[in-house]
Chains A and B, each alone.
Chain A
Amino acid sequence: MLRLLSLITAFALTSVVVPGGTASAAPSQGGTFIIGLEGEPATATGHLATDTVALMVASNIFNGLVSLDFNFNPQPDLATSWDISDDGRTYTFHLAEDAKWHDGVPVTAEDIEYTFNDIIAVAHPRAGSWWPNVESAVATDKHTFVITLKAAYAPFMTIIGNTLGSGTLMMPKHIYEGTDPKTNPANFAPIGSGPFKFVAWNRGSHIELERNPDYFKEGLPYLDRIILQFLPDAASRLLAFEQGEVDFLHMYIVPFDQVARFRKDDKFRVIERGGEGAATNEFLLMNMRSGPLANKDVRHALAWAIDREQIVEKAVFGEGKVAHSFINSGLSWVSDGSTDVYRSVDLDKANELLDNAGFPRDADGKRFDLRIALASGRDYEGRADEIIKDNLAQVGIGVTVEMSDRTSFIEKVMRQWDFDLANQLFTTGPDPAISVRPRYHSEQIKKIPFVNSMGYSNPELDNIFDTESGEIDREKRAGMWRDAQTILFEDMPALPLFEIPVVNLVSDRFKDVITTPFGYIQSREGTYFEE
């Protein structure tokens, strides 16, 4: 039986290689790409998806209006071209004329209009953060779609190109019209316009997609099938990858201590890009409401005492780098590492600041105690906390790490504000206006997750936040953001610890797997198989 199976496998693998073709020739069609997911998605569409896994499915079935390149410039997707009015308020999109839904119905501007007004605006959890800027979104003819904004809003194209953050994958009106987009059965058997068609969802096991032969982009896609397999156990997931049963593991589920091993093995490739869009940084949040941390000098002292180089070395095994900004360096146009003044550890300075702030050492050399709230699940946060504990002990601050599971952590830190320090990952991309502003704006001091739980308020910074997004010129925006980063380092509502390593693991037999800053979730329309 074993031999039979391996024969079948061998046959299947060889049959996809073009006879006589050279390896470096144009990509050939064929191959099954198996993506390992950390869990079962909640849905297979974009409008409800808030989790990575759902978007990894949806991005292959649907198209956005535009996608983004590594410089965050828009690239054609369903819209082949677009015009932006001089006042930055009117966006006119010209759609691909031969695009069809998987059931054969042509894609028209009506669908786009419906998607924005009746699906995303109504059902997507993040719509509230940007949709209020939109005055109208209408189809002006069969293939033209116009969005008018209330005022110029610089990050707009980035937002609709960022399907992870905004759910802007275009959906068929004829399937969703007159239904509740949250419960429409098509959410589990989606019909899109994308490179792959939905075939089956085997509960608890995998989702199967097949090549869309009528895809409107000439010659694409190359792969015959995509399988997204749910592998919740980290060990068996890694084993499956090593054994060649799975071809791709995205950066958020790759164990960092194992990466070095895969770099040496030529059966695999480590792709160190594709995370620029999410631009994720690890932060140490500081509750500024009361206690020693209400004092700015104490917060500065922490920054001088914590050895971030050592954290990178031990917590993420040297794979990432120190975060020298509140904005991840993947956003190269706006991230400014020179705003970080705490370049090296300086225990003397930390001690001096603490002495002067009115927290002298007692007889045992102790100044005060702090708690760090830690959520289970990200082992690197636990390792970082061990180092922080060690570092702060040297300046007389006792640290206890309080671990709970993630939902309890959110309850404690973000709803009850019952914490001193807390570990938290924040995305800072694809545009800081949508992912940095909500963490530090004083109007975001709310008892809900992932906003300003620190209780931080600075009118000067609020003012920058409120005006910068109206500025269309990127250079000028970058200047305003430089001021914002300087203010953040001065006020220190949180200490940026390190940038999450961007390391995706892929079988060497598949090429062009990652081609956008959202590489971990992107559409695999251009991915091809090569023995």
Chain B
Amino acid sequence: MSVVEPLAATEVAEMPSAWRIFRRNRMSVFGLVLIVILAVLALLGPWIAPFSPYSTTAGPVMAPPGAPHWLGTDELGRDIFSRVLLGTRTSLLVGLAAAFIATFVGITVGALSGYFTGWIDDVIMRVTEVFQVIPRFFLAIVLVSFFGANLVNIILAISLLSWPELARIVRAEFLTLRSRQFVDAARVCGAGAMWLVFVEILPNALAPVIVNATLQVGQAMLLEAGLSYLGVGDPSQISLGMMLQQAQQIMRAAWWATLFPGVALAIAVLAINIVGDGLNDVFSPRSRER
């Protein structure tokens, strides 16, 4: 089965030149600045929030945006700005955690497959293919709705569905790298399999992994929102997706309850995607020629 790997790269750039290439693309810098701002807001959320995000006595019910509720209030009188801060935090957490787990599994599986080749590779690749064929959003809905809608299950379900892509990328990298001279040299010097995998090959295969992992963070945040929308999100956590789900009923009467969490989510994912794109350019050999 053919799979497109638009992010394939061969070598890691040196750090100084990497930053220069990244910086050259103004959009990437913009994205990075956005991410930093969002991360700071999310981290400092509890201290900046003007109201408790849970308090139903923060203000009048469905108040339109304006002082002191800058983004309005929802149907229970909760302050939307405070909730967006907390929601961004939860959504980012889901995105990062899911991308981290997916990356970890993806690297492990891909490395095993690409380093050992042979029957191990065959078995692993068949399993990966099965995972790629099953429509993943369907599977995520089923997993979460069957095994309980809590944040941990949601993170696990999302990461379970995201690793095959990474595994394939890592495998492809390993297949090209394992027969390179520097690996052969290390092998001749008596390096063991673990040493070869983790010290010699892996660092050289990291470039596309980093790009992919970055993009996965954004995808995971969107997946979480989608699950919440379908009613299989974690109701005890305020995530941006959960806010959107709850705002649906009052969509017509209070557009701000739907608009602002959605915009926050779109901005966060957009910033991540822009940075991912920028990184892709950094690692792609073509851009270094320019």
Contacts and interface: CB of A to CB of B under 8 A. Distances in A.
Chains A, B in direct contact (C-beta < 8 Å): yes
Interface stretch (B111-119, B177-185, B246-254, B274-282): B246-254
A239 interface: yes
Interface residues of A, number: 19
B289 to A, nearest CB: 51
A405 B56 contact: no
Interface string A244-269: 00000000000101100100000000
A242 interface: yes
Contacts of A404: 148
B235 A382 contact: yes
B249 A258 contact: yes
Contacts of A117: none
Contacts of B252: 238-239, 242
A258 B145 contact: no
B78 to A, nearest CB: 12
A403 B235 contact: yes
A376 B253 contact: no
Given A401-B236, A403-B149, A405-B145, A235 B251 contact: yes
Contact of B251 (A239, A376, A401): A239
Contacts of B146: 405, 408
Identify whether the interface residues of A are mostly helix, strand, loop, or mixed: helix
Interface string B62-81: 00000000000001100000
13 contacts: A234-B248, A235-B249, A235-B251, A238-B249, A238-B252, A242-B252, A257-B76, A314-B56, A314-B76, A376-B149, A376-B231, A408-B146, A408-B148
Contacts of B148: 404, 408
A376 B150 CA distance: 12
B250 A258 contact: yes
Interface of B: 56, 75-76, 145-146, 148-149, 231-232, 235-236, 248-253
A36 to B, nearest CB: 14
Nearest to B247: A235
A377 B249 contact: no
A456 B26 CA distance: 70
B248 A257 contact: no
A327 B235 CA distance: 31
A401 B150 CA distance: 12
Given A376-B235, A403-B149, A261 B253 contact: yes
Contact of A258 (B149, B235, B236, B253): B253
Nearest to B54: A386
B109 to A, nearest CB: 31
Contact of B250 (A257, A376, A377): A257
Contacts of B236: 401, 403
